[in-house]
Amino acid sequence: MNLAIGKNPLIVGLGKTGLSCIAFFNRINQSYHALDSRSDCAGQKQAQQDALCQSVTMNGLDGNQAQHKKFLEQSGISSLIVSPGVATRGALFDAATELDIEIIGDIELFARAINQDQNSRVIAITGSNGKSTVTKLIYDLMNTAGYSVAVGGNIGTPVLDLLTDPEQWYVLELSSFQLETTYSLVVEVATVLNLSEDHMNRYDSFQQYADTKLALLKFAKHQVIDIDELPELDGKYSDALRFGLNQQNNNSILNYDQTRRVIELQSNLSNAVHIFDTQKLLIPGLHNIRNVMTVLAICELADFKWTVEFKNYLYQWPGLEHRCSFVAEKHNVKFYNDSKATNIGATIAAIDGFAATSDAKIILIAGGDGKGAEFSPLATKFRKYLRALVLLGKDAEQIFEQAGKGLQSSIVADMKEAVTTAFKFSRPGDLVLLSPACASLDMYSNFEQRGKDFQNCVEALA
């Protein structure tokens, strides 16, 4: 397999993605070098014991540009394969650029591999929020319909691992980090769901972050665009399927009837109008109606044949854990887990979604590591829809100062106190929503652990 990466690629990062690169190189008998920024990690031993690995460098991002240049030249490095968690800036990458050494990621390796297979087709999803829900629902619908399909990328399985059992369709969730080092991916249908501030500790500006996401659309034969979320893209792509919740689009095959609360899809395959009753969906909120419309648009462009059975499957789909998922009802107060909301855009979407489909007042639990975000855009939503605000974690004080003043609020030490305090603030008919607007790493190993802690604390309530 000719991947045009040269004889001596360097894998940068020995986490989950780096290990998938090692496994891939073993399948194609490609020798390589390996490097990690840490002094030790789980992948270090595996690389050191691999006969194809020519060298392993720990603390590999230390040093100046001259030192890195010497290492790259002496080792004969032909390309850098960078894990998405490693920012492609600093002395190593400056040295690689000076030596005209290509810097790519695992998605680019995947692209070069499948570009040699004319039967493979890719659906790609990015955006600030909703990526995993849309990706998994598309996969589940296609899998249920009998398609030869695999799912991976930023969700679940690393893309190179998908190549061990090739499929006709690949549904990929892609992060901005992955897109930074991707150049030749050929996509059948792509979407950028929305854009809001995220990872501002990695990007120089919001525009740089947005441009990285939007670059995906240039790889695609067809684009799906929610013009309410990204109005600047309306009319930009001639092969785009456009839709919106806030207005009827006479030139779109996909519309939302707010009065009847139904989605109407004019299928090009059958010339039939398919009606989807949003009140039958198990996944709550207006933002999930947008997600479902995106899924319908993508499946239509992938020539999906809608039947009663698959419509019913859509209605019964339970959603993903930690994404506005229902936890329990205690004394007529409902609790929802949206721990995956790691930025302010996700939290705004959750609040708007519940406000549009329910009359309940919200007691919000938020806080954690804000990743350098500005929280003031939350202030209007908080004042309009919240009964109370409970904050915890590293940036609790900052959220209060920028968005929480004037509200019934409390800053607490841990999740148990957050849940009991939120319950005390609530009244019958209210809902308690964990939607942190922050990453979890200041208190937890990941957002899943945070969400499970919330669920356990809710279940423990009397």
Residues tagged active-site: 131, 154, 199
Angle at 299 between CA 293 and CA 301, to 5 degrees: 105
- Structural contact between residues 123 and 188, judged by C-beta atoms closer than 8 angstroms: yes
Strand positions, DSSP E, 297-361: 325-330, 333-337
- Structural contact between residues 298 and 138, judged by C-beta atoms closer than 8 angstroms: yes
Q: How far apart are the first and last CA of the chain?
A: 61
Q: Which two tokens stand for residue 204?
A: 């120089």
Query: What is the Cβ-side half-sphere exposure of residue 457, based on CA atoms within 13 angstroms?
Result: 22
What is the C-alpha to C-alpha distance for residues 183 and 79, in angstroms, rounded to an integer? 14
- Characterize 384-400 residue by residue with b for buried, 16 or more Cβ atoms within 10 angstroms of its Cβ, and e for exposed: ebbbbbbbbbebbebbb
- Structural contact between residues 430 and 363, judged by C-beta atoms closer than 8 angstroms: yes
In sign, the C-alpha dihedral spanning 129, 133, 134, 136 is positive
Please report, for residues 129, 321, 333, 422, 456, the alpha-carbon distance to residue 461 in angstroms, rounded to integers and kept in the order given.
Answer: 30, 20, 11, 11, 9
What is the C-alpha to C-alpha distance for residues 24 and 162, in angstroms, rounded to an integer? 10
Amino acid at 169: W
Residue 313: which residues within 8 A CB-CB, separation 6 or more? 140, 141, 144
Unique residue bearing structure tokens 């009991």: 420
